Amino acid sequence: MAVPLLDRYVISSALSPTLQIAVGLFVIYTGFVVSLGLALILDGEMPLSAIGVYILARDIIALEVIVPTAVFLGVVVGTTRLHRDREAYAFYSAGVSTSRMTASIFFMALFVALVVAWLTTNGRPWAYQQNDALTRSSSMLSFKTMQPRVFHDLSDGLVLYARSVDRETGELGEVFVSWFDEQETHVVRSRLAHTEILANGDQQVIFTDGYEYRIDADTAADAVVEFDVMGVMLDSSGNVQKPQRRKAKSTEQLLEATAYKDIAELQWRLSLPLVALLLPLLAVRFGRVMPGRQGNNRVWLAFAAYVAIFMLATQLRTAVENEQMAPEPGMFTLPIAMAALLVVLALSDRFRRRG
């Protein structure tokens, strides 16, 4: 089906700045990720062969925000140029309504929403699974490669520090380790520590002469245990055995979840595409400037509104996670409010034209 000339022209006016902004943000973020990856390699916490997957996973996670950001700002810049150069007003004088201009952007917004939907429902869990796998595999690196007097983040929430490292045996001296599970935070201090590989391939860290502190976040049922020898079981990938992180769970798993934290993660994945659909339609409103005006103030106002929207989305997710807000409508409050605002603005335009 052929796209009308007006739609092609309006979309192309927004597409050029969108691509420039998207490429700029992507390059900047990828450069930052590369620097983080190289730092992990130099610290012996990740093999060089894993740098490609590390960068790809981090980029996919970031794209769910980079894409709607670039489209929103690109539409603002593009529609501002059309109004500044009087092209939009020529359309209006020819009988094209402001709603028709917004409808042209809708085609672009719909495509962006589909892309973001794939990123949040499929790309996001895959990327976090790869990220967790890399983190777990890095923890299998021999203690011999670790740097003394450095805090090593070996996995999700597992932090290890050793004052000394025996390069020949891999034994650690004056060790501090902390990790958390669903109920407690565990802190271990011991004189010595080393790893053992069991017959089934699992890994175990053996601590000698120390204390374990168990801190319960919900109650006062904390405990201190003194030990001569204590073992902590790791899975075959070197990770402390604990439930799968919710960000790495598939969307199908989250659909059956009942925990508020899982529900919040699911709502983030499902509501973000709706926000990505409505953002460009809202951006058209910020691009309406008087002929000859640069519209810089409108661009900054649009950017402030965008930041406020994503801050609100983050706050809503946190409120659902902490059971401070009912999951119905939960995070869907934001796209519902945005849609209602667009309807009110469209009705006001219609009444203004009739008046």
Q: Which long-range contacts (CB under 8 A, 24 or more apart) does 301-308 make?
A: 302/72, 302/73, 302/76, 303/73, 306/69, 306/72, 306/73, 306/279
Burial tier of 251 (Cβ tally within 10 Å: 0-12, 13-18, 19+) = middle
Mean pLDDT, the chain, rounded, equals 85
Q: Assess contact for 45 and 93: CB atoms under 8 A.
A: no
Judging by DSSP bridges, how do beta strands 158-165 and 152-155 pair with one another? antiparallel
Higher-pLDDT residue of 187 and 132 is 187
Chain segment 75-134, per-residue pLDDT in tens: 999 988 888 888 888 888 887 777 777 888 898 999 999 999 999 999 999 999 888 777
Q: What is the mean pLDDT of residues 178-200?
A: 83
Determine the Cα–Cα distance for residues 15 and 45; give it in Å rounded to an integer: 41
| More confident: 70 or 87 | 70
| Amino acid at position 148, single letter | P
pLDDT score of 295: 66
pLDDT at position 222 is 82
Q: Which of 70, 82, 40 is nearest to 58 (CA)?
A: 40
Phi, psi dihedrals of residue 312, rounded to the nearest 5°: -65, -40
- pLDDT over threshold 70, residue 235: no
Confidence of residue 197 (pLDDT cuts 50, 70, 90): confident
The tens digit of pLDDT for each residue in 271-309 reads: 999 999 999 999 988 888 777 676 678 888 888 999 999
Whether the Cβ atoms of residue 13 and residue 82 lie closer than 8 Å to each other: yes
Residue 220: pLDDT over 90: no
For residues 238-244, average pLDDT:
50
Mean pLDDT of 40-44: 77
Q: Pick the residue with more confidence: 85 or 210?
A: 210
Backbone angles phi, psi at 279, to 5 degrees: -60, -50
Banded pLDDT at 40 (limits 50, 70, 90): confident
| Residue 55 to residue 33: CA distance in whole angstroms | 6
Residue bearing the bigger pLDDT, 85 or 340 = 340
Q: SS3 for 310?
A: helix
Given this model, what pLDDT does residue 236 score?
45
Task: Summarize the confidence of residues 136-162 as an average pLDDT.
Answer: 74
316-337 pLDDT, tens digit per residue, is 999 999 989 988 899 999 999 9
pLDDT score of 269? 95
pLDDT tier at 238 (50, 70, 90 boundaries)?
Answer: very low
Q: What is the pLDDT of residue 297?
A: 80
In the block, tokens 């990720």 appear at: 33
- Mean pLDDT in residue range 227-232: 91
Q: Concatenated DSSP letters for 51-115?
A: HHHHHHHHHHHHHHHHHHHHHHHHHHHHHHHHHHTTHHHHHHHTT--HHHHHHHHHHHHHHHHHH
Say which residues have a Cβ less than 8 Å from residue 215's Cβ, sequence separation at least 6: 184, 185, 186, 187, 222
User: What value does the mean pLDDT take over residues 199-220?
Assistant: 81
Q: How many angstroms separate the first and last alpha carbons of the chain?
A: 37
> Which segment, 25-29, 38-42, 176-180, 223-227, is predicted with the most confidence on average?
25-29
pLDDT number for residue 1: 45
List residues bridging with 175 in a β-sheet. 162, 190
